[in-house]
């Protein structure tokens, strides 16, 4: 090969980083591939816009078809975002026998299975390392480094925006709305932060992780999701008093051949490694039957960290081109999808309850738990300064999600219970 031509869809923050790395690391790419790698065309929305990198105007186009249909382009790198329209572009690129690298977790969470199938049918590579946890090579580690092991659980912080918000709330006792505004001002949160703070971004990433780690067609709708917008300073403070740190945690857990995938605000013991992951950083804890516990930590977003993952995928494509083995890396799911029922999901729970401060109130509450076989690990009981109420904070031992849902339903019906203020999952007391 005299040279490799790359087409780029998108030239925003990540796209600019990709251009910079390809240009700055040309000697390394030459060493790996044996020929120059150059960006031939870039699709953008506005050719006149000022950008972080200099790209010759002749290489810019506002028509993605100019990139996708160019017969000289070997690899398409997609960093433009979006789902439906972008899906059509990538299907067309694969049908034209072009290899694809994408950082688009939204697209891969929804259409990943179909795109991978199309790539295999056309003898093409489709790599998407940058779609989960930015610069952390977690997907490649699951596919290659841990390929011989049986993954039983993945648990992690996979959204930098929510981790930044919860870190600030914990360190400075700040209110959620106040920290959200700060995150938006710093560029960590979008003007519309819904996808981040309501857990959807993390859920898409966990669907991708579960699909790869468990070799099972896990879909986005299989992920149970709860965001952080209802987390209060009181919840954070009680967590601290009981020796916990609150994080938005994605969990993918496999028992036998059944899986649970969820995203939710979760209390972790202060001693847990994930509890010390602060600000916009990401980390994923992986449990394998053979390897035991491993943790992957690093920047979860940003121009160069994410672009590094994109270009690493590009290198993977180029190595395959050199060996003439493109399109053979995708492996069909090994296991039929089986999602755990609430009776099969076991966890500890944190509850904060406002009750009438009267004789026998606590015994009524404890009897509900004992009737379901759920015992307490930690309890705080504090009088409130209003309306003759007391506040009870409980951390349970492990029980089924079904039992916990039944207990919550029955608690709300008790006359002594004014309100169940908050409930959260507790993880990491022991394995997991």
Q: Which two tokens stand for residue 380?
A: 């705080």
| Residue 25 dihedral angles phi and psi, to the nearest 5° | -110, 30
- Which one of the listed residues 98, 205, 340, 401 is annotated catalytic? 205
* Angstrom distance (rounded) from CA 108 to CA 103: 9
Active site residue 205: yes
Kind of pairing between the strands at 244-255 and 151-157: antiparallel
Q: Which two tokens stand for residue 171?
A: 């360190």
Q: Are 128 and 108 in contact (CB under 8 A)?
A: yes
- The closest alpha carbon to 417, from 349, 350, 362, 359, belongs to 362
* Angstrom distance (rounded) from CA 237 to CA 255: 33
Q: Which two tokens stand for residue 340?
A: 């755990």
- The closest alpha carbon to 421, from 370, 372, 384, 367, belongs to 384
- The closest alpha carbon to 87, from 36, 141, 31, 126, belongs to 126
Looking at the DSSP bridge assignments, the partners of residue 142 are: none
Task: Give the catalytic positions in this structure.
Answer: 205
């Amino acid at each position: 090969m005299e040279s490799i031509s790359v087409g780029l869809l998108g030239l925003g923050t990540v796209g600019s980083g990709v251009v910079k790395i390809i240009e700055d690391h040309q000697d390394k790419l030459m060493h790996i591939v044996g020929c120059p790698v150059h960006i031939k065309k870039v699709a953008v929305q506005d050719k006149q816009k000022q950008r972080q990198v200099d790209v010759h105007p002749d290489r810019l186009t506002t028509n993605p078809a100019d990139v996708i249909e160019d017969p000289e382009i070997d690899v398409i790198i997609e960093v433009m975002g979006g789902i439906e329209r972008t899906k059509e572009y990538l299907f067309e690129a694969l049908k034209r026998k072009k290899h694809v690298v994408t950082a688009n977790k939204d697209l891969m969470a929804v259409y990943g299975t179909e795109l991978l199938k199309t790539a295999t049918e056309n003898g093409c590579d489709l790599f998407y390392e940058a779609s989960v946890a930015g610069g952390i090579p977690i997907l490649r580690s699951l596919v290659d480094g841990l390929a011989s092991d049986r993954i039983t659980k993945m648990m992690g912080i996979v959204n930098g925006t929510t981790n930044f918000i919860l870190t600030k709330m914990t360190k400075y006792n700040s209110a959620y709305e106040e920290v959200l505004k700060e995150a938006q001002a710093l560029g960590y949160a979008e003007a519309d932060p819904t996808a981040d703070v309501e857990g959807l971004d993390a859920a898409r990433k966990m669907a991708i992780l579960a699909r790869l780690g468990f070799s099972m067609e896990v879909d986005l709708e299989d992920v149970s999701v709860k965001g952080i917008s209802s987390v209060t300073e009181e919840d954070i403070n009680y967590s601290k008093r009981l020796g916990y740190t609150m994080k938005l945690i994605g969990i993918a857990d496999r028992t036998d051949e059944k899986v649970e995938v969820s995203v939710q605000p979760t209390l972790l013991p202060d001693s847990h490694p994930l509890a010390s992951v602060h600000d916009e950083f990401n980390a994923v804890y992986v449990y394998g039957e053979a390897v035991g516990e491993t943790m992957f930590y690093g920047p979860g977003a940003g121009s160069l960290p994410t672009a590094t993952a994109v270009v690493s995928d590009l290198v993977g494509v180029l190595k395959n081109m050199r060996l003439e083995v493109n399109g053979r890396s995708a492996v069909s799911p090994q296991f039929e999808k089986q999602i755990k029922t609430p009776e099969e999901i076991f966890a500890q729970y944190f509850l904060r309850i406002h009750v009438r401060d009267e004789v026998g109130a606590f015994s009524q509450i404890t009897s509900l738990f004992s009737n379901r076989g759920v015992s307490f690990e930690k309890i705080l009981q504090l009088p409130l300064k209003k309306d003759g109420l007391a506040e009870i904070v409980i951390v349970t031992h492990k029980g089924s999600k079904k039992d916990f849902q039944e207990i919550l339903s029955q608690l709300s019906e008790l006359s002594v219970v004014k309100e169940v203020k908050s409930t959260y999952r507790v993880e990491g007391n022991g394995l997991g």
